[in-house]
Amino acid sequence: MELKFTNPQTELVYQDLKSRYNKATLTKKELANEFTVSTSTIDLYISKGIGIPNYKKLGTAKNAKVVFNIIDVAEYLSQTIKTA
């Protein structure tokens, strides 16, 4: 399946993430690394529902694993990062 991106910046970010992580999703720790914040900050963003790309919670427990699809991360980053 070939992905079609409407924004060329999104495709560049996606290709960068895909080449560095070589998988379809990122963990909270990996996302925190991309945002240069702590995992606690990612938890705060999740609890407030702001400043975060779409995510999936794998389970119903309070501490269930959370993953972020790299396509969603690429879209989020390409919309929030300003380039020269």
Q: What is the pTM of this model?
A: 0.86
The yes/no answer on whether domain 19-81 falls in CATH 1.10.10 is no
Give the distance, in angstroms, between the CA of residue 64 and the centroid of all CA atoms in the same chain: 17
- How much is the CA Rg of the chain, to the nearest whole Å? 13
The mean predicted confidence, pLDDT, of the chain is 90
Residue, of 79 and 42, whose pLDDT is higher = 42
Residue 81 scores a pLDDT above 70: no
More confident residue, 79 or 44: 44
- Distinct helix (H) and strand (E) counts, the chain: 4, 3
The domain segmentation of the chain, as residue ranges, is: 19-81
Pick from 1, 18, 3: nearest CA to 73:
18
Q: Are 28 and 13 in contact (CB under 8 A)?
A: no
Q: Is 67 helix (H, G, I), strand (E, B) or coil?
A: strand
